[in-house]
Structure 1
Amino acid sequence: MPTPAEYLALAHDERDRFVLQRLAQCPYPFVWQALAANPHTPPEALQELSAARDSVWNDNKLLRLLAEHPSADSVVLRAVLDAVAAKLEEGKRPYAAVLALADRPELEVDEVRRLGTLRGASARLRHLLDLQLSARM
């Protein structure tokens, strides 16, 4: 049975998509974050990670990493968008993930702009979101 440190090392360095997919089922949030930062993690694993939950801080960091991932396709990004919207409605402030999503051309400007209308969006977030989205137009 691998130790948490061994799981973490694999999540950082592994390139095999099947190993990375299995690691997405690991119970450790630090492994999820390492997977989300690994550019070789396949979209299927990223989508699975979009539903992973631990704590506010860990969840928000994971969602930002997923939104920034180079292999995140439109399916993954929409799953992240939905998770971020739910966090905003709960008042959890996943602001870095919102701004990362604003940079993704795979998402329509209007679907990202909607995040600024949700209950947990601050005035500062709305302003930064508007700036980022207007730069895409």
Structure 2
Amino acid sequence: MCVAYAVGHGGKMETSTMPRGLYGMHTPADYLELARAENDGAVLHRLVRCPYPFVWHALAANVHTPTVALLELSAARDSAWNDNMLLRLLAEHPGADRIVLLAVLDAVATKLTEGERPYAAVLALAERRELEVEEVRRLGALRGSSARLRSRLDQSLGSRA
């Protein structure tokens, strides 16, 4: 399960080296609860390797998740709905720096080009001052952008000026 993903060496971990918060974890619900409640960045970073998208969402919503973990989450993929939600949560995360936001911007651009609709993530990125207006405005010109998205994007970016 997640503990196996959180360590190397064949997925085994000695009890003495198991990080606080991952010891004795057994079910996906345990990982979800830990992702929601934990404030230790090292434990949260290890949880990124869990294969459960609902854990990724909880990590992206946890204000204590470190930026290195957020950056890794920007590349996580599961399904259109889960991916789009994750990208929105990452775009809204208060700890997301410019590097994380650029990774999210690239992922959103890819999704739009593929015909998916990560519109909530686009609008969340438009609110982030760490990104230049033109960097975000380019999303509206991509194949998957609708007229309504372009209108709301222009509105959001216009309010930043």
Shorter-chain TM-score bucket reads over 0.9
Q: CA deviation at 1:2?
A: 2.5
Within the alignment, does 1:8 sit opposite 2:27 as a pair? no
Within the alignment, does 1:99 sit opposite 2:98 as a pair? no
Q: Which residue of 2 aligns with 1:72?
A: 96
- Which has the larger helix fraction? 1
Q: Which residue of 1 aligns with 2:52?
A: 28
Within the alignment, does 1:121 sit opposite 2:145 as a pair? yes
Q: Which residue of 2 aligns with 1:61?
A: 85
Aligned length: 137
- Measured on the aligned residues, the alpha-carbon RMSD in Å equals 0.6
1:40-64: CA deviation from partner (whole Å, max 9, x where unpaired): 0010000000000000000000000
Bigger radius of gyration, 1 or 2?
2
Runs (5+) with no aligned partner, structure 1? none
Within the alignment, does 1:52 sit opposite 2:98 as a pair? no
Q: CA deviation at 1:3?
A: 1.1
Distance 1:103 1:87 in 2: 19
Distance 2:26 2:125 in 1: 34
Distance 2:26 2:109 in 1: 35
What is the TM-score of this pair, normalised by structure 1? 0.99
Distance 2:35 2:115 in 1: 30
Q: Which residue of 2 aligns with 1:19?
A: 43
**Sequence identity percentage:** 73
Distance 2:108 2:115 in 1: 10
Runs (5+) with no aligned partner, structure 2? 1-24
- Secondary structure, in 3 states, of the residue corresponding to 1:124? helix
Distance 1:122 1:59 in 2: 19
1:58 maps to amino acid: N
2:90 maps to amino acid: L
1:40 maps to amino acid: H
Q: Which residue of 2 aligns with 1:42?
A: 66
